[in-house]
Chains A and B, each alone.
Chain A
Amino acid sequence: MAGPDEQRIFVASQWQLMWWRFRRHKVAVASGGVVIGFYLAVLGADFLAYADPNASEAQRSLMPPQPVYWFDGWRFSPHVYAVKGARDPQTFKRVYRADPGQKISIRFFAGGFEYRFLGLIPMTRHLIGVDGGLDAGKTIFVLGTDVQGRDLWSRLMYSTRISLTIGLFGVTVSLVLGVVLGGLSGFYGGIADTLIQRVIEILRSIPTIPLWMGLAAALPRDWSILQIYFAITIIISLLGWTELARVVRGRFLAMREEDFVVSARLVGCSQMRTIFVHMVPSFMSHIIAATTLALPAMIISETALSFLGLGLRPPAMSWGVLLQQAQNVQTVAISPWLMIPAVPVIIVVMAFNFLGDGLRDAADPYGR
């Protein structure tokens, strides 16, 4: 009875130690929080969005972000000023003038367009909104609007949903691929190993963009956005697994030699037991770390694909799509706020990197 008991203690304390080491990496911990926050946003995208991301209106085209005034006199009542727009006949820019006379107060949990929370509960409440909801013709644009007068904030929320899940799905797929293949390659070695190593080398030798283009262009275009979305995910991950495989293999190779594994073998533990009871515990941590580091790559890939017009295309909304539409001179010159979608990209990628580093350092202070 002592055997498995000790085993558990051993494993537990190992995770515990990892957690302790991880906690030392302050920024990593913070990053972890950020990441969680973003994924909450993914769940509640339509709650956080306060306007229909597709509702276009020429008369508010390219409206700069509206400053939010938190206090009315001394009373706390967040509001924005009503805005009137016109195109300047000389500069051809759209000029917007706030009218301090007309305050539009922001209501929390205000009613807005209808949606299903978590895809289940029908709701009309949104984090913020204007009293009277949409019909009042009063509007707020905390991040401004795009060319078609669509609310950037709301579009951003919906994009977050797609972009972050794409990363997640992608990583899951490449994780499976990576672990299985890397595992085979590392645990058995021999022909399996050489073969898989070749494949990896070949995949890595071919510049990714042609691969993307080839695969992405091969997708039937009459697929629905959702289908394409999944296909793209698969594509990205098809190229993403090699790195993970490498890590896994490395670990397996290292482990094979380690005493406790060897002894476990000698004692005559079944291979499964050897792998899962003895190897996997000290092993998971690395996978987690590697995965975390793979995620930002996925996210970047998504934006890159969209930039090349190979990824998700407009109607669909993703960070990549938003950025791709901001990828022009006039944006940089006269409507820079359209580049805001880059901010979440940067934050998330950073967060994932720090998180990943933290996890990896925690996983094994000695190796990488």
Chain B
Amino acid sequence: MTDVMPDPLTLAILLPLFGAIAAFLLPRAAPAIGLGAVVATAAAIAVLGHLVVQAGTIFVPLGGWGAPLGIELRADGLALAMLGLTALIALGVGLGALAAFAGETEVGGQPMARQRAFFWPLCLLLLTGMNGVYLSNDLFNLYVMLEVISLAAVGLAVLGGTVAALRAGLAYMYASLLGALMMLLGVGFVYLQTGRLDLAGLAGAPDSAALSAAFGLMLVGLALKTALFPLHFWLPEAHANATAPASALLSALVVKAGLYILLRLAEAGPFPGEAILTLMGVLGTGAVLWGGVQALRAERLKLLVAWSTVAQMGLIFVALARAGLEGLSDSWRAAALLILAHAVAKAGMFLAAGRIKDVIGHDRISELDRSAVRPALAQLAFALAAISLIGLPPSLGFIGKWSLMEGAMMAGNWHWVAVTMAGTLLSVAYFTRALTGFLRFDRVRAPLDEHRGWALADAPPVVLAGLAVGLGLAAGPILAVLDLGTPFGAIP
């Protein structure tokens, strides 16, 4: 790794950090600095991708010490895919933020200029934390990274400054902290049992009570962070009340950090048993159903989208559990595909929902059809994102669901197929509520304001949502990237 200098793994983490510092120092130039930093980070990730394609998994022993004394960074296909995803979404959301924070003031909230100035440092710190999680190979470091993410995410969640956002943000903060602290205590138990902190140290560890306790703590903590039913209570309000670009980042990326760590823990093993995995699937089922039902009842568009995140996260847990412990070495692919699909689609959907709210002036679902103004492109983006989240072909969400169901079917677990089907039907039902609001016209009083062409603000949601649909056709290359460096060992 020493031939490239400095290594792209560190750069992927530190470039956004430098960007955050610069954006904090120069608030007026924050948007330009922010976008520049995202692009630079994407370039570093591209270089990293080149290396990973050539060499497979890459390790960087920071400080030259190497594990277990020092901390190692590790990049393989799974990490690479997540890095690329994060850069893509940061870019999309960043461009969306240019428009979202363009106004002057907002009633009852923070002045726009302040939101604009603070969005970028926080967004870039979030990026630092996310990229740090993807590349980390050390349990304690993962804890620290989770805290970086937590604080930046809370800052983003309360960016709007309304009472509702602050309340939800505080509840989110507490849940997030508790999850992180459980992770920390779990790390303590790991150290107690193995005397080391790197993930590789878990691999050879004997099955013991302390290790089970460690896994139990870490799994519960991460479940709290990923809002797995019934630990999802903090998510809907926090995601629904944030300003749209923040919601997009929170829903698309932040919850994925916990899931990613979960995948890495499952990879490092020894996973504490079939029953726990099944339990995760069962809770995921609960999330799919409960999230779906709540989305059906939600009165506001953004709340509906937030509840759909709860349901979709549940589906990812179902994907992990679809073929039991035996099948975990393949199930992670289905989970990873669903993670990617949900992230891209949800980022597009939240940006679209934000646009709709900005243009119409509210996001009450029952009154969307009374508006004479119809943000056609934002609505189109919303619909496209919905296609992927429902899992209709050829979207990436479809490919993810197909993999889920294929594996479940091959393992004879028809109940997971049934859960997926039920979730799909529920998602059709709740997204149709929104679409009905977009497409109904007979309750409009004023003359209709027809679609008059493009606004730059529509581009990010449309492109992200379009990608969510179109990337399904690139599932082959995406799977090839995921398999670089063979995470979870060889293909069975």
A in complex with B? no
Residues of chain A touching chain B, judged by Cβ–Cβ distance below 8 Å, are none
Residues of chain B touching chain A, judged by Cβ–Cβ distance below 8 Å, are none
